[in-house]
Amino acid sequence: MAVKYFLRDTNDDVTCDLGGLGKDVDMSRTMGADASPVSELTASITYEALFVFDVNVSSDTPVTSDMQISVDVVAATNLQYRFSVFEIDDGDCASDNSTVGSAQTGTGIKTETLNLTWGGAGNRLRLLIEGVRTTHGTKTLSINVSDADSFVNAVSFTEPAGGYVAQGLHHIEHGVAGFQHQGLQPIEAEVAA
């Protein structure tokens, strides 16, 4: 069963942000408000980070998987860009595994499937979009986010049994049962004495 992470124009999760290199933003299982964030590339003649989309996947079951990438792009002329996916360990923010895609150009919905070997130490999935200019001048890349066309679909990832709501209710019920049990034990001990 696949888990789909939608691209968003928010930065609520700042763990492992690159800070200054590209635009640090989030991925989420739910779509947010429509937006079209823009990243600029001014001088680079080698690939440089434009967007970094992160999501914590520790509540899912990450495994080695095909990552189906779909991004609705508005790109400047003479801008070349590519997608990469990473397994990130947010303990040290190091990349454990990554796969780099092929060069893309132009505007529209761009798709690519990359296979990411999941080592198991990481708990964060990252989509990196890098760009390089092929002529002089400032180049921009805009991503239409929070729509059905911009996502990373982790083909072999699985949600918790029963889905996220069921998992949350299980933890609540388990906590209440534990609290009730702990609270009753001293009372029962006093009555028995």
The domain 3-159: what is its CATH number? 2.60.120
pLDDT at 172 over 70: no
- Give 54-80 pLDDT, tens digit per residue: 999 989 999 999 999 999 999 988 899
pLDDT at 157: 93
Kind of pairing between the strands at 94-100 and 3-7: unpaired
179 has a pLDDT exceeding 60: no
Tokens of 78: 């003479």
- What pLDDT score was predicted for residue 90? 85
* E strand spans, the chain: 3-7, 23-28, 38-41, 48-56, 65-75, 79-89, 94-100, 108-116, 124-133, 139-144, 151-154
Please answer whether residues 7 and 71 qualify as being in contact, where contact means their C-beta atoms are separated by less than 8 angstroms.
yes
Q: Name the pTM for this structure.
A: 0.81
The lowest-confidence range among 18-32, 73-87, 140-154 is 18-32
pLDDT at 162: 63
81/70 Cα distance (integer angstroms): 14
Asked if 95 and 16 count as a contact pair (C-beta separation under 8 A), the reply is no
**Per-residue pLDDT tens digits for 89-102:** 988 888 889 999 99
pLDDT recorded at residue 184: 42
Q: How many CB atoms lie within 10 A of CB 162?
A: 11
